[in-house]
Structure 1
Amino acid sequence: MAAEISNEQIYYQWEEFSLEEKLCKFPDGEERAKIVLRHPGAALVIPQTSNGDLVLVKQYRAVMDEWLLEFPAGKIVRGETALDCAQRELGEEVCLYASHLHFLARVYAEPGYSDEVISIFFARGLKPRSLVKDEDEFISVCTMSIQEFQSNISSGNVRDAKTLSAFAIAICQGVLWRASGGKFDVVE
C-alpha cells in the first residue's frame, strides 16, 4: 500500500527544478514530511565506436570538487524527448552524432529525495558532428577499450553511479561487444 499525500508545498523553484515538501501518511498511520527535488529527467548515452571502444568524458563536477569519468549525459530541456536529449548531449559533450540510438532502460537517480529519471541509450554508427559545447562544462573526451574501462572501474576511477548503472545494464542486455583475436565478442 502506498502512502497518502495530504499536502505538497513548493519551497523553491528554479528553471525546471523545484524543492518541495510532501506530507505523507504511511500505512502504519504515521505522518512524515518528505523533501523532494523535482527534476525534469535526463538522458545518458553509451557510445561505442566501430572498433569497439567506448567514448566517455572526464568532467569537472564542482559539487564533488573532482573530475569524474562518465558517459555523456545531461538534463532534458523543456519540449525535448529523452531521445532528443541523448542525441544533443552526444553532440555537445563528445561532438558525435549516432545513426543508431537504442533505448536500454530508465533508472531512478536518487529515489530517496528526487524524482529524476535517467533514460539510458546505447549509440552506434557514430559520425563526427560539430556543436557548440556548454560554456559551464569543463570536459575532455576519452576513448578506451572495454577492458580499460573495466580496469578503471576496478581501480576506483569510475565513481559516477549513473555511468556504472548504465554499463551494468548494457552488459546484462548484451549490447556491448569487443574485438578479440580479429572477431567481435559480446561482453558478458
Structure 2
Amino acid sequence: MLSRTELLRGDFLHVFRDQVRLPDGATAQREYVVHPGAVMVVPLLSVSDRAAQIVLERQYRYPVRRTIIEFPAGKIDSGEDTWVCAQRELREETGYIASEWARAGVLHPVVAYSTEFIEVWFARGLSAGERQLDAGEFLDVFSASSEQLMDWCRTGEVTDAKTMVGALWLQNWLHGAWALDWRAVQSEGGGA
C-alpha cells in the first residue's frame, strides 16, 4: 500500500481507497469495505436418513429490495468469540438454544471489495424459547426440509451466498462426505 484515504465511517461499515503497487510495478486504486465479520448458523431440528429439518428465516433486505430466505446470521461484536456470537444470534433471531455445536468453516462472501468473513456453525439439540430481535429487525422464522432448501437453491428462490454455502455444507455432512466435530454446551452462552 502506498497511501490510504478513508471514504466513509458509518455505524456499521468503514470504507477505504488505497493506492497500491501492482506486481508489474504499475499503481492502481483499490476501494474496499472493512467489515467486523459475522457468523451463520445451520440449525438442525432433526436428522434422519440423509435428510434434515432445518430452521430458516425470511427477511426483507433493503439493498436488493426483496425478501431473502437465509440461515440465521449476524455480526460479531468487538472482542466477541465467534462461538458465543453464534449462540447469541441463534437465540436472538429464532429463540432456539442448542445443546451441541460444530464449527464447519469460514467463507469470504465478497473478496473483491470487502474484508468480511462469515464463520459457519451447525447447531443441534434445539430447545425453543423466546426471540430477542434487535431494534429495527423484522424476520419470520420457519422450518423446511434439507431437500426443500436444495431445491430453492437450484430454482433461484435462495440467492443468499452464505445460505448456499450452508446448504453445500449440510448436504455434504448429511451424505457423510464432510465431518463435523460436535461439542456440547455446558452453560448458556458460555461455551464448553
Band the TM-score falls in, shorter-chain normalisation: 0.7 to 0.9
**TM-score in terms of structure 2 length:** 0.84
Out of 18, 22, 29, the residue aligned to residue 25 of structure 2 is 29
Report if aligned partners of 2:93, 2:132 keep a CA contact under 8 Å in 1: no
Structure 1 letter corresponding to 2:113 = Y
User: Shift in Å at residue 146 of structure 1?
Assistant: 1.1
Report if aligned partners of 1:104, 1:170 keep a CA contact under 8 Å in 2: no
User: Shift in Å at residue 35 of structure 1?
Assistant: 0.4
**TM-score in terms of structure 1 length:** 0.86
Q: 5 Å matches for 1:137-148? A: 137-148=137-148
Residue-pair matches, total: 174
Residue of structure 1 in register with 2:84 after alignment: 84
5+ unaligned residues in a row in structure 1: which ranges?
A: 177-184
User: Shift in Å at residue 16 of structure 1?
Assistant: 5.0
Residue of structure 1 in register with 2:168 after alignment: 168
Q: Which region of structure 1 is more displaced relative to structure 2, 35-44 or 9-18?
A: 9-18
User: Hey, which of these two has a bigger chunk of strand by percent?
Assistant: 1
5+ unaligned residues in a row in structure 2: which ranges?
A: 179-192
CA RMSD in angstroms comes to 1.7
Question: Are 1:17 and 2:13 an aligned pair?
Answer: yes
Out of 24, 38, 41, the residue aligned to residue 42 of structure 1 is 38
Q: Which secondary structure state, in structure 1, belongs to the residue aligned with residue 105 of structure 2?
A: strand
| Alpha-carbon distance in structure 1 between the residues aligned to 2:58 and 2:131 | 18
Report if aligned partners of 1:24, 1:31 keep a CA contact under 8 Å in 2: yes
Question: Are 1:94 and 2:94 an aligned pair?
Answer: yes
Residue of structure 2 in register with 1:135 after alignment: 135
User: Shift in Å at residue 152 of structure 1?
Assistant: 1.7
Report if aligned partners of 1:45, 1:120 keep a CA contact under 8 Å in 2: yes
